[in-house]
């Protein structure tokens, strides 16, 4: 603190040359030069958003398109956009690095503080840490923003629940009341997401009270991990139900197979996070989100449904999709191990990771500290599981697609293997679902295959690509951490 930046400093790093001094900006006694950046190539969104916190667009039309999609209006800088478009706008949307409304309401976008002052400041300007969504997986994301087709993550979600049986597997007398049976799933889903969202999300389940009889035998639908016509089956269920079920206002459809169907005939419960192009059709209009509840969910329970709803909110798989039977079982979870329900759905550390909570808006921007410059900083972060307001995440961007996230963990119902300590994860928005878009970073002594021993207790230190993170001490509400970053 109290560092002074000379008025003659010029930035030549990262391809930014010909910097022209505009003026000075004083914040809390720190004097920082501010500069205008010419239209030359940048290295990343983190670099761009230092000077253009709302991002940049190639034209007014592209900027307006970003606004319609819920972003702040990017600045129109045609030459700068074109010099970065090939790397940072692979979908050719016409804008780069946009942020959500109000994320930078107090930032003058014509001014940018000079980085590298020697003190790593825990900025509340989170734009450089909002790693962009590269959409390597259609309709799902590990970066910002969440696809607009996905379920809203705030408020009450109206969901239609349909129970189906088959000519060869009719509903048994003890299972004739879908409303009663679904309580075992619905209550578990309600409790999980109420906890993960800090009470910001709930579900309004509309369970149709009788079974919908399907016209064909269960085996004809091929509901198997080996492959089947899942979308066609879901649409057929909806079409069979349409004459007697009102889908008005429903944002998702859950189809539950007769619980007496053996898992050998229906062993997978996939989610269907669709776009407008392939939405489910109902008489009342399209429904973009749905999931099936089959034999694996009947055996495991609500954790499977939680995982599939994670996809309906836009989240990617964190387990290893390339794993095949015959390989070591732990290889299936080699990226995040026990951590997060999108990795090991019923696991002993299925509590949602901090990055995913931020992505869905459950950890708000004001509870994130973005660490960009070289230097070191001490700060306190609250326990992720606590609804207490205050800093919950420290995020350190590494480049345009990667960043480290530091969060405070404590033992609880959804993380019963957790020691009280600090967890560090690597985010990579360049990787798709099942490719390791979020990976737990081990400390030097961590060897447990599912990362149960990866949490940093006070005194532990972990380093990654020039970043050093130390759990300095417990605090009243979480942990005190020290983050150090060498000059780039």
Give the pLDDT score at 85: 84
Answer yes or no: is 326 within a domain: no
Element (H, E) at 427: strand 421-428
Together in a domain, 90 and 196: no
In this predicted model, what pLDDT tens digit does every residue of 303-327 receive, in sequence order?
999 999 999 999 999 999 999 989 9
Kind of pairing between the strands at 438-440 and 421-428: antiparallel
Together in a domain, 309 and 160: yes
Domain that holds residue 287: 155-313
The domain boundary, picked from 54, 80, 112, lies at: 112
Q: Which residues contact 441 (CB under 8 A, 6 or more apart)?
A: 404, 424, 425, 426, 454, 462, 464
Together in a domain, 299 and 219: yes
Q: Specify the pTM.
A: 0.76
Together in a domain, 159 and 307: yes
Indicate the average pLDDT of the chain.
85
What is the total count of domains within the chain? Answer: 3
Q: Is the pLDDT of residue 36 over 80?
A: no
The domain boundary, picked from 281, 313, 345, lies at: 313
Q: How far is CA 447 from CA 334, 400, 435, 451, 454, in A?
A: 12, 30, 21, 7, 8
Alpha carbon 277 to chain centroid distance?
23
Q: Is the pLDDT of residue 378 over 80?
A: yes
Answer yes or no: is 248 within a domain: yes
Q: Which two tokens stand for residue 216?
A: 């064909």
Give the pLDDT score at 376: 93
The CA distance from 450 to 147, in Å, is 30
In this predicted model, what pLDDT tens digit does every residue of 225-268 receive, in sequence order?
887 789 999 999 999 999 999 999 999 999 999 999 999 999 99
Together in a domain, 191 and 292: yes
Question: What's the rounded mean pLDDT across residues 397-408?
Answer: 96
Q: Is the pLDDT of residue 224 over 50?
A: yes
Give the pLDDT score at 72: 78
The CA distance from 38 to 123, in Å, is 24
Together in a domain, 166 and 103: no
Q: Is the pLDDT of residue 407 over 60?
A: yes
Q: How far is CA 288 from CA 79, 147, 231, 313, in A?
A: 38, 12, 12, 11
Element (H, E) at 101: none
Q: Is the pLDDT of residue 466 over 50?
A: yes
The domain boundary, picked from 260, 281, 313, lies at: 313
Together in a domain, 387 and 309: no
Together in a domain, 96 and 222: no
Answer yes or no: is 242 within a domain: yes
Q: Answer for the pair 324, 332: CB distance below 8 angstroms, yes or no.
A: no
Give the pLDDT score at 486: 78
Only one residue has tokens 């898992």, namely: 263
Question: What's the rounded mean pLDDT across residues 461-474?
Answer: 97
Give the pLDDT score at 342: 98
The CA distance from 351 to 343, in Å, is 10
Alpha carbon 67 to chain centroid distance?
21
Together in a domain, 162 and 226: yes
Answer yes or no: is 331 within a domain: no
Q: Which two tokens stand for residue 151?
A: 């379920």
> Which band of pLDDT confidence, cut at 50, 70 and 90, is reported for residue 136?
low
Alpha carbon 13 to chain centroid distance?
31
Q: Answer for the pair 228, 222: CB distance below 8 angstroms, yes or no.
A: yes
- CATH code, domain carrying 215: 3.40.390
Q: Where are any strands of DSSP class E within 192-335?
A: 201-207, 212-213, 252-257, 271-273, 289-293
DSSP secondary structure string, 312-327? HTTBPP-S-TT--BTB
Answer yes or no: is 383 within a domain: yes
The CA distance from 63 to 165, in Å, is 50
Q: Answer for the pair 354, 407: CB distance below 8 angstroms, yes or no.
A: yes
Q: What percent of the chain has pLDDT over 70?
A: 84
Together in a domain, 73 and 193: no
- DSSP label at 285? -
Together in a domain, 90 and 159: no
Q: Pick 37 or 203 by higher pLDDT.
A: 203
Answer yes or no: is 11 within a domain: no
Together in a domain, 309 and 363: no
Answer yes or no: is 324 within a domain: no
Q: Which of 2-6, 97-101, 207-211, 415-419 has the lowest mean pLDDT?
A: 2-6
In this predicted model, what pLDDT tens digit does every residue of 83-114 receive, in sequence order?
888 878 766 778 888 775 533 333 222 222 23
Work out the number of other CB atoms within 10 angstroms of the CB of residue 482: 16
Answer yes or no: is 344 within a domain: no
Q: What percent of the chain has pLDDT over 90?
A: 68
Give the pLDDT score at 35: 36
């Amino acid at each position: 603190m109290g560092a002074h930046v000379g008025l003659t400093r010029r930035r030549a790093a990262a391809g930014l040359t010909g910097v022209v001094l505009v003026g000075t900006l004083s914040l809390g006694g720190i004097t920082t030069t501010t500069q205008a950046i010419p239209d030359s190539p940048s290295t990343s969104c983190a670099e761009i958003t230092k000077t253009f916190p709302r991002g940049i667009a190639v034209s007014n039309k592209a900027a307006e398109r970003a606004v319609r999609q819920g972003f702040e209006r990017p600045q129109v800088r045609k030459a700068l956009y074109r010099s970065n478009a090939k790397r940072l706008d692979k979908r050719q949307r016409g804008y780069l690095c946009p942020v959500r409304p109000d994320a930078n309401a107090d930032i003058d976008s014509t001014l940018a503080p000079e980085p590298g002052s020697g003190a790593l400041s825990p900025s509340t300007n989170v734009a450089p840490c909002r790693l962009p969504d590269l959409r390597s997986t259609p309709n799902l994301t590990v970066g910002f923003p969440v696809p607009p087709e996905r379920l809203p993550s705030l408020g009450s979600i109206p969901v239609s629940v349909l129970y189906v049986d088959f000519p060869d597997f009719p509903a048994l007398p003890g299972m004739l009341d879908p409303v009663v049976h679904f309580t075992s799933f619905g209550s578990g889903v309600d409790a999980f997401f109420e906890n993960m969202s800090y009470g910001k999300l709930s579900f309004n389940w509309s369970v149709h009270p009788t079974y919908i009889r399907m016209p064909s035998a269960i085996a004809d639908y091929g509901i198997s991990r080996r492959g089947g016509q899942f979308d066609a089956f879901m649409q057929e269920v909806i079409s069979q139900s349409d004459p007697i079920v009102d889908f008005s206002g429903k944002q998702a459809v859950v189809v539950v197979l007769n619980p007496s169907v053996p898992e050998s005939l229906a062993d997978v419960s996939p989610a269907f996070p669709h776009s407008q192009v392939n939405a489910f059709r109902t008489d009342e209009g399209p429904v973009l989100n749905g999931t099936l509840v089959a034999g694996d969910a009947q055996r495991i329970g609500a954790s499977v449904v939680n995982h599939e709803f994670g996809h309906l909110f836009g989240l990617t798989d964190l387990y290893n999709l390339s794993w095949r039977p015959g390989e070591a079982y732990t290889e299936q979870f080699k990226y995040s191990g026990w951590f997060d329900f999108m990795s090991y759905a019923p696991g002993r550390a299925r509590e949602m990771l901090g990055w995913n909570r931020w992505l869905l808006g459950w950890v708000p921007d004001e509870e994130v500290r973005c660490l960009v410059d070289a230097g070191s900083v001490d700060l306190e972060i609250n326990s992720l599981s606590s609804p207490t307001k205050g800093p919950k995440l420290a995020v350190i961007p590494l480049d345009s697609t990667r960043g480290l996230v530091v969060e405070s963990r404590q033992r609880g119902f959804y993380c019963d293997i957790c020691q009280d300590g600090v967890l560090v994860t690597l985010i990579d928005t360049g990787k798709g679902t099942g490719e390791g878009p979020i990976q737990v970073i081990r400390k030097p002594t961590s060897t447990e295959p599912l990362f149960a021993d990866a949490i940093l207790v006070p005194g532990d230190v972990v380093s990654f690509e020039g970043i050093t993170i130390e759990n300095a001490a417990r605090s009243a509400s979480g942990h005190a951490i020290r983050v150090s970053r060498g000059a780039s």
